[in-house]
């Protein structure tokens, strides 16, 4: 496995060396959900954004939030901050968060034709994370089933009863 990092040398490249199966002095450390409500600086950034959704849609703020845990903890990698539902939102489903409610989509996928009309999401860069990180930055694309369930039901908390028949050739009813 070859590591591909063509940027300036990192102050801490332990994580990348471990991925490349090179010797390291210790096992690298990072945490999923590193950024979040437990950090006062995250809460301040979220307040400045005006809403969680605006925070998740603004690459510069995502980069800021991703780097905040690195200032507090001895971690070897940053986790790029986002929300899994911003992807279907960027494809045209219209994500919103109601007061005291979970996420909802304005245009859930109700039939096969709606799926065919999906727009590919625009690519946006969190380049502030790349240029400011002194350690590796990790990205992830989690919960494909959860994203699909939310996209077909219109909300993440509903049962995914429409998704199973869709995947296996059944009815949308």
pLDDT band at 116 (very low <50, low <70, confident <90, very high): confident
Q: Tell me, what's the pLDDT at 128?
A: 47
Q: What is the pTM of this model?
A: 0.69
Percent pLDDT > 70 in the chain is: 71
The residue that leads in pLDDT, 12 or 65, is: 65
What are all long-range contacts of 13-16, with beta carbons under 8 Å and residues at least 24 apart? Answer: 13/135, 13/136, 14/76, 14/135, 15/76, 15/77, 15/135, 15/136, 15/138, 16/136
* pLDDT of 49: 95
Q: How confident is the model at residue 50 (pLDDT cuts 50, 70, 90)?
A: very high
pLDDT given at position 143: 63
Give the range with max mean pLDDT: 35-49, 73-87, 103-117, 136-150.
35-49
Let me know the angle formed at the C-alpha of 158 by 153 and 163, rounded to the nearest 5 degrees. 45
Percent of the chain topping pLDDT 90:
14
pLDDT of residue 158: 54
Determine contact, residues 65/35, Cβ cutoff 8 Å.
yes
pLDDT at residue 125 is higher than 70? no
CA 136/CA 59 separation, integer angstroms: 17
Q: Are 118 and 47 in contact (CB under 8 A)?
A: no
Q: Are strands 103-105 and 95-97 parallel, antiparallel or unpaired?
A: antiparallel
């Amino acid at each position: 496995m070859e590591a591909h990092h063509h940027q300036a040398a990192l102050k801490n490249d332990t994580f990348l060396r471990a991925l490349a199966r090179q010797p390291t002095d210790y096992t690298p450390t990072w945490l999923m959900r590193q950024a979040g409500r437990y950090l006062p600086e995250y809460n301040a950034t979220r307040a400045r954004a005006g809403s969680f959704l605006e925070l998740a849609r603004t690459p510069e703020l995502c980069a800021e939030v991703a780097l905040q845990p690195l200032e507090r903890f001895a971690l070897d990698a940053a986790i790029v901050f986002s929300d899994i539902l911003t992807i279907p939102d960027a494809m045209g489903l219209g994500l919103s968060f109601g007061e005291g409610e979970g996420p909802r989509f304005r245009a859930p996928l109700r039939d096969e034709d709606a799926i065919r009309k999906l727009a590919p999401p625009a690519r946006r860069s969190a380049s502030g994370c790349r240029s400011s990180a002194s350690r590796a930055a990790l990205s992830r694309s989690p919960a494909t089933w959860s994203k699909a369930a939310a996209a077909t039901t219109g909300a993440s908390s509903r049962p995914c009863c429409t998704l199973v028949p869709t995947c296996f050739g059944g009815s949308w009813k």
